Structure 1
Amino acid sequence: MSVPKFATPPPPSFHTVLKTRINDYFKQQGKPSTGNFRLYSKAMFLVVGFLALYVHVIFFTPSAGWAIFECLLLSLFTSAIGFNIMHDGAHGSFSSKPWVNTIAASSLNFLGANTFMWKMKHNVIHHAYTNIDGIDDDLDAKPFLRLCETQKHYKFHKYQHLYFWFAYSLLYLFWIFVSDYKKYFSKKVGDIPLKKMTANDHLTFWGFKLLHICLFVVIPIAMVGVGPWAIGFVSYALFAGFVLSIVFQLAHTVEHTHFPVPNAETNKIDDEWAIHQLKTTANFATKNRLACWFMGGLNFQVEHHLFPKISHIHYPRINKIITATCKEFDVQYIEYKKVKDAVISHVSYLKQLSRPTLVHAH
């Protein structure tokens, strides 16, 4: 499937007006659109907390119950580092200094995945072609889950709204031990070719994969034995997988988001890119301070998709500009007030797609 093109509206387009207003906001405030002390202090807390938990559970292993609890807590720190440090770093919004962004993004390498693959899958493909089946790799959970109506229906999908949590739990294990390697050896993300890897990209890929195996497999087994390591590591990886999955799914695969199909003849999407982002993306729990802190603004997914190079710490402020502009242009802005509301909508959507009939036509 070749990548589609977006419509070009007559000027002034919604996107042009919005960009001008957001740029004006930062000029008036006299501050950069990247991270600040609030973000850096949170990053420091997350890194120190992660290292302290890792050292304690491996080298000063407590009783079984406490050890499992600490492994689950380590999952939350892993997810939070991904949401807050890696994500902003990979988008170049963590800092105004490129080398700092590179270090922040590299936290993903230490956690077992690969920054090069992530940037291609997420920054290049997902952000440009959100919710377009066959291109957006985030929709590809085949055959286990059916995430949009254009995907093939299997009989076992009848129960996907019941077993999805288990499938989501497998994400992290699958990501670090299967899908990165699949992308590396096939030189593709789905059907989209990877950009050419440099010698440094290859060294980074293999070097950090080996480092991760040493840190999370070899050393723990040497310290606590195979059995305790297996219980701890599987608990850690399954919980991290679920948390990472559910946060990203709540932003795109819910009842009110769209899954546009390009015109068969022209290979064009009906909307301009910015409006496409608003139709395919949802916010949730934006007034929940704990959710905002933990998820690194990923619950402000609309703001993130429209302005991925702006750090998440600015999303609550630019949210007001975006919602006002949406009203002015009569563009729908999808938002769920609570995490619970978004989860209910996501489960309801999975249940709709558990039937072979077309019920979510957009």
Structure 2
Amino acid sequence: MSQSVVPKFPAVQKSLHTELKKRVQAYFDEKGIDSTGNPRLFTKALLMVLGFIAVFVHLVFFTPVWYLALGECVVLGGLVAGIGFNVMHDGSHGSFSTNKGWNRIAASSISLLGANHFMWNMKHNMIHHSFTNVDGVDDDIEIGALMRMAPSQKRYKMHRFQHFYFWALYMLLYLFWIFFSDYSKYFSRKIGNVPLKKMSVKDHIEFWGVKLYHILVFVVIPVIFVGWLSWLVGFLVMSLVAGFILSIVFQLAHTVEHTEFPVADTESHKLPDEFAAHQIKTTANFATRNKLVSWLVGGLNFQIEHHLFPKISHIHYPAISEIVRKVCMEYQLQYIEYPSMRQAVAAHVRFLKQMGR
């Protein structure tokens, strides 16, 4: 049964979150470094954005032969996800730079991809990061009747096969996000059961400005230069690749074996655990020793650290993960981690199979 009231976290005397913050801050004080991004992150961000623009321009205005064009569409889909993970994500959390202006610019890269930052901020920063895996509140586990992503959600017969067909559904995420989800939130004025905060005139203008830009740049102009069919094939390839990468990375962080789906008390509306314990129990890491994976997904394979310290840039997660792991041992909390991407995907498939039973 989905929860209709936004839950609360219980107050505790010995706060785990306070202890974690104290130890992590001590690390930054000892090293004498900022908790935001560094030149390596800025270089990566620049490379990804310039790469995205270059591939797009080459596809539309210098259209290569079809087999090279398809390959470039795959690369473009990967860059959509890469910019989301590495640039927009840190920027939206204020961890990209010590400069607020650069954080706003990095966060605004979501507009380059056709999505609305206001909706993302509400859905991700305010709701998902607070009430992770809470059915009826966390929109990331609300896929509707097509999939069962939490034990409290209703099970349908087709869910017995969701561990087979999820691949296809995940590919549709980017298309669904750009062409349906943003609009649904805008007109319904809510995300799941949570009302949207009031949008300013500037928010409304930005919403429609980004959507008009996206239609013009990603639909109208390419159709004019390469034709309807070539555009359709290329746009679908790019979108399906981006959708799958975005989906699988986010799902491996929360909907795998061992992660929990807390339910608030029906009378007090309080969740079982304080904030930090809640985040640790509902989140998993994967492939943290794989530097290539960490580079490509913007440190989101260190999802436990990200949920505890979203305002710290992902470039610091490998170092602070050792601190978090040690505190988890002291507090007798399971630190959920899968050594490889393959093992994490397998754990996700087993989870989906279990939810379908």
Paired position in structure 2 for 1:39:
41
The TM-score, its normalising length taken from structure 2, stands at 0.98
The one-letter amino acid of 1:295's match is V
The one-letter amino acid of 2:344's match is A
The one-letter amino acid of 2:267's match is E
**Separation in 1, partners of 2:234, 2:218:** 10
The one-letter amino acid of 1:194's match is L
Does the Cα contact within 8 Å between 2:263 and 2:272 map onto a contact in 1?
A: no
Paired position in structure 1 for 2:196:
194
Give the Å deviation of 1:26: 1.0
CA deviation profile, 1:177-198 (whole Å, cap 9, x unmatched): 0000000011101110111111
**Separation in 2, partners of 1:58, 1:145:** 36
| 1:351 aligned to which of 345, 350, 353 | 353
**Separation in 2, partners of 1:104, 1:212:** 18
The one-letter amino acid of 2:341's match is V
Paired position in structure 2 for 1:8:
11
1:45-84 paired onto structure 2 within 5 Å: 45-84=47-86
Paired position in structure 1 for 2:299:
297
RMSD: 0.7
1:1-362 paired onto structure 2 within 5 Å: 1-11=4-14, 13-355=15-357
The one-letter amino acid of 1:9's match is V
The one-letter amino acid of 2:65's match is S
**Separation in 1, partners of 2:288, 2:10:** 30
**Separation in 2, partners of 1:277, 1:249:** 15
**Separation in 1, partners of 2:231, 2:311:** 39
**Separation in 2, partners of 1:310, 1:232:** 36
Give the Å deviation of 1:94: 0.3
Q: What SS does the corresponding residue of 2:144 show, helix, strand or coil? A: coil
The one-letter amino acid of 2:322's match is K
The one-letter amino acid of 2:319's match is R
Does the Cα contact within 8 Å between 2:35 and 2:312 map onto a contact in 1?
A: yes
CA deviation profile, 1:264-318 (whole Å, cap 9, x unmatched): 1221111111000000000000000110000000000000000000000000011
Give the Å deviation of 1:7: 2.0
Give the Å deviation of 1:16: 1.1
Determine what percentage of the aligned residue pairs are the same residue: 58
Unaligned runs of 5+ in 1: 356-362
Q: What SS does the corresponding residue of 1:46 show, helix, strand or coil? A: helix
Does the Cα contact within 8 Å between 2:52 and 2:76 map onto a contact in 1?
A: yes
**Separation in 2, partners of 1:161, 1:261:** 24
Give the Å deviation of 1:136: 0.2
The one-letter amino acid of 1:185's match is F
The TM-score, its normalising length taken from structure 1, stands at 0.97
Give the Å deviation of 1:252: 0.1
Give the Å deviation of 1:149: 1.3
The one-letter amino acid of 1:59's match is F
Q: What SS does the corresponding residue of 2:262 show, helix, strand or coil? A: coil
**Separation in 2, partners of 1:347, 1:329:** 30
**Separation in 2, partners of 1:76, 1:190:** 28
**Separation in 2, partners of 1:73, 1:8:** 47
CA deviation profile, 1:217-252 (whole Å, cap 9, x unmatched): 001000000000000001110111000000000000
**Separation in 2, partners of 1:209, 1:332:** 43
Does the Cα contact within 8 Å between 2:285 and 2:336 map onto a contact in 1?
A: yes
Q: What SS does the corresponding residue of 1:48 show, helix, strand or coil? A: helix
Aligned length: 354
Paired position in structure 2 for 1:360:
none
The one-letter amino acid of 1:6's match is F
Unaligned runs of 5+ in 2: none
**Separation in 1, partners of 2:217, 2:339:** 40
**Separation in 2, partners of 1:2, 1:55:** 47
